[in-house]
């Protein structure tokens, strides 16, 4: 017979009580589902190691689910016997199941658009870049601008970034605008610079830098805000393109095994579209939105947004303190070791930032601030501390986040736990950046670079993400980077500070329990236990026990959101 929710609630109670050595007459835990007369189909997941994410009961043999909620966990026989013969059985066939993995920092529209536009990921040299762009220009209307994204010069044989002089021979007439993978630098050809009105006399804008050669001529490299004029040449995607991009991003991400994302720098104009896509099923992911600064007023006046299905939540704002390390826009206290003329870029003014902080505190809006350089991170902590001190009652459970937290002064590491600021970090940044970070920073500053171990030891939690499309957005890479702290080819030196790696149990929390807390969802997400949403990630091998180098070889077997299998490998 099918389990009713009333019976399921009792079953969940029985399993929990049995695990604790208690009688089933014990009081129902608060997290268990409320009894109801409605009869619902029950699905049982079993047949492989199931990691709950709970310290007290780290693994179970079976999980029962109905109406998108976890009803029970425990031994296979006990769960199957309680559910009855009509329950649907999903055999894992030896695959390993985990709480649903959440990418705590992603640009979802960018992930989808990456699949639909000129993708420069993986280009291995300036020569290859120009070859790919040249081929794309064959299908581009004469005079029309061409946009691409994803190049990153680290490891290129030329040992430098591309310039207008590389692009002009293949495109003298079509404006070409190519964005670096991190989104903090653009290379434009002469046609694009001319169309945007950028020449040798154009001053650097606030929060931006026009790279120039020895004669003062613009090289075509534009850092942070300096790129805005050429980016304006590119037509923004229309509604149909956005819908396609969100659907594509959802398909790509669920195939990777992600069940949820924290979506950063969201244009408030896209919220209705995302919510509609969630309602019609084309966007299956669970999404926690952090809107850009323009969306604060709507959150102040209209309150937080949540769809009826509970999958799309908007209650946070994203700000920017500085640029990126790769393009030398990250704000450092001392000059860059490999370019002493610059310390990076400050993208916020204190008075304006504090005014935004106060408004957010009063409205209960979470503030998530991009900070990469050691000076930017210190300012973020200083200004946050000042805002919190002015409104201690409002700051008590604010859960503000420092997005990236890449380079820190060692003495600032304890301040995160002391202030309650959550470092939101992307492990893949470290294993990519550490090929060039020693040159950018010098040996001493590496002690505070990507310091996952030190932050956790100091009492902080880390919300783990990928920053896709800056990175690939693959949970296997992120988990591997966190526990191995090696390049994808196994590279590691003392400059990489191997001791900053985390344990596998901590890495699991970085992508499950800690993102749940960082999005105020710890009561419903982040672990496999009765009463929480049935979000599961299933990999072909047990990433908690296999050798490190095998983590990158596992396949996503199944992705489950609200009890529904949204991806299953054939």
- What is the 8-class DSSP label of residue 322? B
Residue 244: φ, ψ to 5°:
-65, -40
Residue pLDDT, tens place only, 216-262? 999 999 999 999 999 999 888 899 999 999 999 999 999 999 999 99
Residue pLDDT, tens place only, 17-30? 333 333 333 333 22
The reported pLDDT for the residue numbered 300 is 97
CB distance 107 to 147 below 8 Å: no
Question: What residues contact 495, with CB distance under 8 A and at least 6 apart?
Answer: 434, 437, 438, 443, 446
Widest distance between CA atoms in the chain: 83
End-to-end CA distance of the chain: 30
Domain range list for the chain: 1-99+526-570, 117-231, 321-512
Question: Which pLDDT band holds residue 10 (cuts at 50, 70, 90)?
Answer: very low
* Nearest-angstrom CA–CA distance, 325 and 120: 20
* Nearest-angstrom CA–CA distance, 424 and 406: 10
* Nearest-angstrom CA–CA distance, 48 and 453: 30
CB distance 445 to 404 below 8 Å: no
Q: Is pLDDT of 498 > 60? A: yes
Residue 495 CB neighbour total at 10 angstroms = 15
Q: In a 3-state reduction of DSSP, which class is residue 378?
A: helix
Rounded mean pLDDT of 452-456?
A: 98
Residue pLDDT, tens place only, 178-220? 999 888 899 999 999 999 999 999 999 988 999 999 999 999 9
Q: Is pLDDT of 15 > 60? A: no
* β 43-51/88-91 pair status: parallel
CB distance 525 to 553 below 8 Å: no
CB distance 50 to 72 below 8 Å: no
Residues comprising the chain, all counted: 570
Average pLDDT, the chain: 92
The reported pLDDT for the residue numbered 183 is 85
The reported pLDDT for the residue numbered 30 is 29
2-11, 131-140, 383-392 — which is least confidently predicted?
2-11
Torsion angle, alpha carbons of 401, 404, 407, 413, to 10? 30
The H or E element spanning position 80 is helix 76-83
CB distance 565 to 537 below 8 Å: no
CA 292 → CA 182, 367, 397, 409, distances in Å? 17, 10, 22, 28
* In the block, residue with structure tokens 């702290």: 485
- What is the 8-class DSSP label of residue 545? T
Q: Is pLDDT of 38 > 70? A: no
The reported pLDDT for the residue numbered 152 is 87
Q: Do domains 1-99+526-570 and 321-512 have the same CATH topology?
A: no
- Residues 1-99+526-570: name the CATH superfamily: Urease, subunit C, domain 1 (2.30.40.10)
Question: Which pLDDT band holds residue 570 (cuts at 50, 70, 90)?
Answer: confident
Question: What residues contact 325, with CB distance under 8 A and at least 6 apart?
Answer: 372, 373, 406, 407, 433, 437, 440
Rounded mean pLDDT of 29-49?
A: 63
The reported pLDDT for the residue numbered 181 is 85
CB distance 92 to 232 below 8 Å: no
Q: What pTM was estimated for this model as a whole?
A: 0.88
CB distance 31 to 530 below 8 Å: yes
Instruction: Give one word for 490, left, alpha or beta, with left for phi > 0 and alpha for psi -120 to 50.
Output: left
Q: How far is CA 556 from the centre of its chain?
A: 18
CATH 3.10.310.70 fits 117-231, yes or no: yes
28-42, 137-151, 247-261, 356-370 — which is least confidently predicted?
28-42
Question: Which pLDDT band holds residue 32 (cuts at 50, 70, 90)?
Answer: very low
Spelled out in words, what is the top-level CATH class assigned to the domain 321-512?
Answer: alpha beta
Q: In a 3-state reduction of DSSP, which class is residue 7?
A: helix
Residue pLDDT, tens place only, 426-450? 999 999 999 999 999 999 999 999 9
The reported pLDDT for the residue numbered 81 is 86
Question: Which pLDDT band holds residue 518 (cuts at 50, 70, 90)?
Answer: very high
């Amino acid at each position: 017979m099918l389990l009713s929710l009333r019976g399921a609630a009792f079953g969940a109670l029985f399993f929990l009580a049995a695990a604790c050595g208690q009688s089933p007459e014990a009081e129902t835990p608060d997290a268990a589902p409320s009894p109801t007369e409605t009869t619902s189909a029950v699905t049982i997941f079993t047949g492989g190691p199931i990691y709950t994410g709970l310290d007290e009961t780290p693994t179970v043999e079976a999980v029962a689910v109905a109406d998108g909620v976890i009803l029970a966990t425990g031994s296979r026989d006990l769960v199957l016997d309680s559910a009855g013969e009509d329950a649907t059985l999903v055999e894992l066939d030896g695959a390993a199941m985990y709480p649903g993995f959440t990418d705590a920092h992603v640009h979802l529209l960018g992930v989808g658009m990456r699949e639909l536009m000129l993708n420069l990921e993986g280009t291995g040299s300036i020569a290859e870049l120009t070859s790919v762009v040249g081929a794309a220009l064959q299908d581009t209307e004469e005079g029309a601008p061409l946009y691409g994204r994803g190049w990153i010069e680290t490891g290129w044989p030329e040992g430098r970034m591309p310039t207008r002089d590389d692009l002009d021979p293949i495109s003298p007439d079509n404006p070409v605008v190519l964005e670096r993978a991190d989104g903090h630098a653009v290379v434009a050809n002469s046609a694009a610079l001319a169309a945007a009105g950028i020449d040798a006399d154009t001053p650097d804008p606030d929060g931006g830098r026009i790279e120039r050669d020895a004669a003062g001529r613009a090289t075509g490299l534009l850092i942070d805000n300096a790129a805005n004029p050429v980016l304006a040449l590119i037509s923004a995607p229309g509604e149909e393109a956005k819908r396609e991009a969100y659907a594509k991003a959802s398909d790509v991400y669920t195939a990777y095994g992600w069940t949820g994302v924290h979506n950063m720098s969201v244009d408030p104009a896209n919220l209705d579209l995302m919510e509609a896509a969630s309602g019609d099923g084309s966007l299956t992911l669970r999404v926690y939105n952090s809107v850009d600064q323009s969306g604060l007023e709507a959150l102040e006046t209209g309150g937080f947004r949540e769809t009826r299905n509970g999958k799309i939540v908007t209650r946070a704002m994203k700000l920017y303190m500085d640029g990126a390390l790769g393009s030398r826009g990250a704000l450092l206290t001392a000059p860059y070791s490999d370019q002493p003329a610059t310390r990076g870029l400050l993208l916020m003014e204190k008075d304006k930032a504090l005014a935004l902080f106060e408004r957010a505190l009063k409205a209960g809006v979470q503030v998530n601030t991009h900070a990469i350089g050691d000076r930017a991170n210190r300012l973020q902590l200083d200004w946050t501390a000042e805002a919190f001190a002015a409104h201690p009652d409002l700051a008590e459970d604010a859960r503000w986040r420092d997005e990236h937290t890449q380079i820190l002064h060692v003495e600032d590491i304890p301040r995160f736990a002391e202030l309650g600021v959550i470092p939101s970090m992307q492990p893949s940044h470290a294993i990519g950046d550490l090929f060039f970070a020693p040159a950018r920073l010098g040996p001493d500053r590496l002690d505070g670079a990507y310091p996952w171990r030190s932050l956790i030891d100091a009492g902080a939690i880390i919300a783990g993400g990928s920053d896709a499309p800056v990175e690939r957005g693959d949970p296997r890479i992120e988990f591997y980077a966190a526990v191995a702290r090696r390049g994808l080819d196994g590279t590691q030196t003392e400059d990489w500070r191997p001791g900053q790696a985390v344990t596998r149990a901590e890495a699991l929390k970085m992508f499950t329990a800690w993102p749940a807390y960082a999005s105020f969802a710890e009561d419903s997400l982040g672990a496999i236990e009765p009463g929480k949403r049935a979000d599961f990630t299933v990999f072909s091998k047990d990433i908690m026990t296999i050798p490190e180098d095998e983590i990158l070889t596992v396949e996503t077997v199944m992705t489950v959101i609200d009890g529904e299998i949204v991806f299953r490998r054939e």
